[in-house]
Amino acid sequence: MMQRLDTRRLTRSFTPLRWAAFAFVVLVILAATLAPWISPHDPLAQDIPRRFLPIGSPDHLLGTDEFGRDLLSRLLHGARVELVVALGASLVAAVLGITLGLLGGYFGRWVELLTMRTVEVILAFPPIVLALLIVTIYGSGQSTLIVIMGLLFIPAFARLTFGQTLGVRSAEYVEAARAFAAPTGVILARAILPNVSGALIAQFPITLANAILLGSGLSYLGLGITPPTPSWGGMVAAGQRFMPVDPTMLIISSIAVTLTVLSFGLLGDALRDWLDPKSRRRR
């Protein structure tokens, strides 16, 4: 029973720039998904004599890194790695965070205490620091990262859902539903969730962008995705190390990360303008 898609708001929320961002996001996702099939080379294949090749070299479109590995292939596989981790983390955060926020916001009292206080404890740590602590204990690797970052991003979803749920819960149609003996599940599913989902859907790409930032940051420090697995953060770190010799490595990987994060952020903004009625701004 969803409302008809508001196509007018859609065209108004998506400026040309945002459409470009959407297109770029699709591009990145495709690249990441198809990386194993479209990479010209094996990202791990070293070729020391042919290292630091510049952009446009025959057989190596974007050049090679300090070990002679093809940069384009590493970039594509790096996208895959970053995206898998970020997506996994965002999904975990969304499912857990939304549940906590919804329950806490609707039932209030001790349920609220339990759910939202837990969320606040997570917020008591600077995210990277907590991540580093966990990495120390459990080691790095994709699955550890997904779990840690998933946990770290729970508060974003939980708080948003909590706030939105509070707002909707006091609406009269919810009170009326209770008075008319609607089962709690129905109220949550039909009355509350559809009216908060707009803001939540818009939050997802934003959390994804933050997850990429955090994940690649950890990889930069050498503590997230560890070499030789290609990761954008790691590539920037290597790029920085070999800057005097070959700045292109640094520049290419920096552009890749920045554009991706930027695009997801813009997409989130566009979705919010489209789907979240409360974020309306006057021109």
User: Residues in contact with another protein, total (CB under 8 A)?
Assistant: 65
Which of residues 73 and 263 has its CB atom nearest to another protein in the complex? Answer: 263
d(CA 2, CA 89): 28
Among 36, 54, 126, 228, binds another protein (CB under 8 A): 126
d(CA 232, CA 235): 5
Instruction: Quote the least distance from Cβ 251 to another protein, whole Å.
Output: 8
Q: Is 233 in the site for another protein (CB under 8 A)?
A: yes
Among 30, 190, 228, 278, binds another protein (CB under 8 A): 190
Q: Is 182 in the site for another protein (CB under 8 A)?
A: yes
Instruction: Quote the least distance from Cβ 74 to another protein, whole Å.
Output: 17
Q: Is 28 in the site for another protein (CB under 8 A)?
A: no
CB of 154 within 8 A of CB of 122?
Answer: yes
d(CA 50, CA 276): 52
Instruction: Quote the least distance from Cβ 37 to another protein, whole Å.
Output: 28
- Give Cβ neighbours of residue 211 (< 8 Å, ≥ 6 apart): 85, 86, 87, 89, 90, 149, 153
Q: Is 207 in the site for another protein (CB under 8 A)?
A: no
Q: Is 56 in the site for another protein (CB under 8 A)?
A: no
Long-range contacts of 227-232 (CB under 8 A, 24+ apart): 228/44, 229/77, 229/81, 230/43, 230/44, 230/73, 230/74, 230/75, 230/77, 230/78, 230/81, 231/78, 231/81, 231/82, 232/75, 232/78, 232/79, 232/82, 232/256, 232/257
Which of residues 35 and 174 has its CB atom nearest to another protein in the complex? Answer: 174
Q: Is 3 in the site for another protein (CB under 8 A)?
A: yes
**Residue 250 CA, distance from chain mean position:** 22
| Residues near another protein (CB under 8 A) | 1-3, 121, 123-130, 132-138, 171-173, 175-183, 186, 190-191, 194-195, 209, 213-214, 216-217, 220-223, 233, 236-237, 239-240, 243-244, 247, 250-251, 254, 257-258, 261-262, 265-266, 281-283
